[in-house]
Amino acid sequence: MGTPDLRLIERCVEACTAAHQRLLQVSDGLSDADLRAPSLLPGWTRGHVLNHLRRNADGFALMCESAGRGETGMQYPGGMEERNRDIEDGAGDTAAVLVGNLRTSIYALEALWFRGDATMWTGSGVIATGATVPIADVPFRRLREVTVHLTDLDVGIGHDEWPELFVRMELDRQKMAWAASHPMGLTQLPARAMELPDGLRLAWLINRAQVDGLPQGPGL
């Protein structure tokens, strides 16, 4: 997987721990009724979003723990079926239980990052899609999950509040994905998209904003 950029890892960890605190602050203010209300994701309540973020942290922790032992672990050992089942299992809990579990999972993941050694950071793990990725990418991947799903909670947090580090890094990734998915000559983003502020351009690309004059974005 190559030598990881430890300084970039540290910046992503710093940004993600700040995003975690924002998430917990928002979550602490949600009632049982709030968690039963729809999120911006079709078919998911706010409870589903928070429980997904809890299970996502647990899965990344499994990957980091395995890498620390010199092994390649799976984020969801039972595959997508386990992922989907675990999201449902707990989505209907009371706010106190759901948020308490989320907080525990967040701090367990952060503890692994803070004591992670070279063995862990140079390791790899298998994410839900079945792809093998560097553990060094996990802090950014977690930052993306938390940032985007804070918007999906529909509590008034829009793309204009997304961390600059996330916007810059994810825009680079989305541009590469766009180029890779289009034939030669059509690899550049539409001119209308290039006129947008960075945050709105990214929100359009990952299908978290609609923009006049542009089709629906490709999504995450």
Residue 186 pLDDT: 62
Structure tokens at 5: 């950029």
User: 7, 134 in Cβ contact below 8 A?
Assistant: no
> What pLDDT sits at residue 80?
86
Beta strands in 16-146 (DSSP E): 73-74, 124-126, 132-134
Task: Tell me how many degrees the CA angle 135-157-97 measures, rounded to the nearest 5.
Answer: 70
Q: Which pLDDT does position 184 carry in this prediction?
A: 65
What pLDDT, on a 0 to 100 scale, did the predictor assign at position 201? 94
β-strand 73-74 against 124-126: which pairing, if any?
parallel
Question: 44-48, long-range: CB within 8 Å, 24+ apart, which pairs?
Answer: 44/91, 44/152, 45/91, 46/153, 46/154, 46/155, 47/91, 47/92, 47/93, 47/98, 48/87, 48/88, 48/91
Contact 9, 139 (CB under 8 A): yes
142 is written with which tokens?
């977690």
pLDDT means per 10 residues, the chain with 220 residues, are 85 98 98 98 97 97 97 92 91 97 98 95 95 97 98 96 96 84 71 92 92 80
| Residue (of 213, 195, 214, 196) closest to 159 by Cα position | 196
Here the tokens at position 27 are 């979550």
CA distance 21 to 17: 6
Domains and CATH numbers, the chain: 6-157 (1.20.120.450), 168-205 (no CATH)
